[in-house]
Structure 1
Amino acid sequence: MRVELDELLFARGTFTLRGSGTFDEGVHLVSGPVGSGKSTLALLIAGLLRPTGGAVRRHGISSVQVLLQFPEYHITSSTVAGEAASWGLDPDEVLARADLVGRADDDPFRLSRGELKRLTLCCAIMQDPDLLMLDEPFSSLDCTAKQRTCRMIEGRREGITIIFSHESAVLPRVDAIWEMENGTLTGLGGVPHAIPRWRHAPPYLAYALNEGARPENIRLQDAREALCRIRD
């Protein structure tokens, strides 16, 4: 499975997005500031926007899921259990993993933004598509929920996962890093070799690199372990 961006071009008004590269199987992080074009890229890869030029080519992919930043956009049922079932999933399992046990009969729109985000994240990840795209999956979540989401992402054994995020505190292990800046997508390559070139690296990673450490991945735990190695 892979997704190829072939001289991808998208223009709307004064905004222009450009990018080329290949997303192979594994977890990819597309980082960059708000407004840099991450969400637009997700919609282009999902086929929900049509490129102005170039192409998005998907190979060996039979199922695609894109989870938008705002969970309200995904709700189609009048109850939490009904929403889980609408994804073709076992409601009891979804509610347990989303920490929403006892809320099966609640109206999804009566949940807090964080609770609703947990629900849609669990549904999207548990559906286990070949290509899973998560737009700002950590927004509206507390630290515990972010960590739980990271574990679920890391638990995907097959397929392509692309995270579009400016998160700088809690991140999962990834296989490759990309940067989006002013509409231009740049592939930094595989981890760990891409980490020193990552301009949008979280502060804890930047600190570790400045101290001469070489983290094996991008989690806080990886930065701590790398610092311990150079200080032993």
Structure 2
Amino acid sequence: MQVALEEIAFSRRAFTLACSGVFEEGIHLVTGRVGSGKTTLALLLAGLLQPDAGSVRREGVGTMTLSFQNPEYHVTEAAVRAEIASYGADPDAVAGQCGLAGRIDDDPFHLSRGELKRLHLACVFARAWDLLILDEPFSSLDCVQKRHLCRWLEERDAGITVIFTHERQVLPRVDYIWEVADGRAACLGPVPGAIGRWRYAPPYLRRALEDGRMPANIRFEDVREAR
């Protein structure tokens, strides 16, 4: 199972993005500055945008979804219960997982932004996607909920997971790191080897590298364990 980007190029006015690389099974973290093209790359991966040149080739991908940063974009039902059921999931189980058991009959738009984000992510993770694309999944979540999301990500035991994020404090274990900069998206390689080449590494990782320590992965816990 993989998604291969073969010399793709995309442009809109002054904006350009180019990429060649392969998203294999595992967790891929894609980072870059605001406006660098991360969301554009997510849309290209999902097939919601078509490149001006090159191709996006999906092999062995039977099911896929793209989670947008704004959870309200995904709401299709008038009650939390029905919204969960629309994903083919058990409403009571999913509502309990995201702390909304007492609001299962409420209108999703009566939830806070953080609650709606939790609901959406719980629905997404209730299914086993071959290709799961997450655009800013940590936004609107507090630290506790970010850690819950990390656990869900790490518990995915198959498929391709691609995380586009600016998050620099609470991160999951990942398998590959990508960067989007200067009009190009590139894979830095597998972790931990890619950590030393990661320009957007969080401060706690930079300090570890400056001290001569190479963590096994990118979580803060990995830095504490590094020798």
Normalised by the length of structure 1, the TM-score is 0.96
Distance in 1 between the 2:106 and 2:39 partners?
30
Partner of 1:30: 30
The one-letter amino acid of 2:94's match is: V
**Aligned ranges for residues 98-109 of structure 1 at < 5 Å?**
98-109=98-109
Structure 1 contact 125–132 (Cα < 8 Å) conserved: no
Partner of 1:170: 170
1:182 CA displacement: 3.5
Instruction: List structure 1 segments (4+ residues) > 2 angstroms apart after TM superposition.
Output: none
1:94 CA displacement: 1.0
Distance in 1 between the 2:139 and 2:153 partners?
15
1:43 correspondence with 2:31: no
Unaligned runs of 5+ in 1: none
Distance in 2 between the 1:163 and 1:27 partners?
8
SS of alignment partner, residue 177 of structure 2: strand
Distance in 1 between the 2:204 and 2:115 partners?
28
Unaligned runs of 5+ in 2: none
Normalised by the length of structure 2, the TM-score is 0.98
Partner of 1:78: 78
Distance in 2 between the 1:69 and 1:197 partners?
27
The one-letter amino acid of 2:108's match is: P
SS of alignment partner, residue 152 of structure 1: helix
The one-letter amino acid of 1:103's match is: R
How many residues matched?
A: 227
Identity %: 59
Structure 1 contact 37–182 (Cα < 8 Å) conserved: no
The one-letter amino acid of 1:151's match is: R
| CA distances 1:82-118 after superposition (whole Å, capped 9, x unpaired) | 1000111111111111111111011100111111111
SS of alignment partner, residue 4 of structure 2: strand
**Aligned ranges for residues 6-155 of structure 1 at < 5 Å?**
6-155=6-155
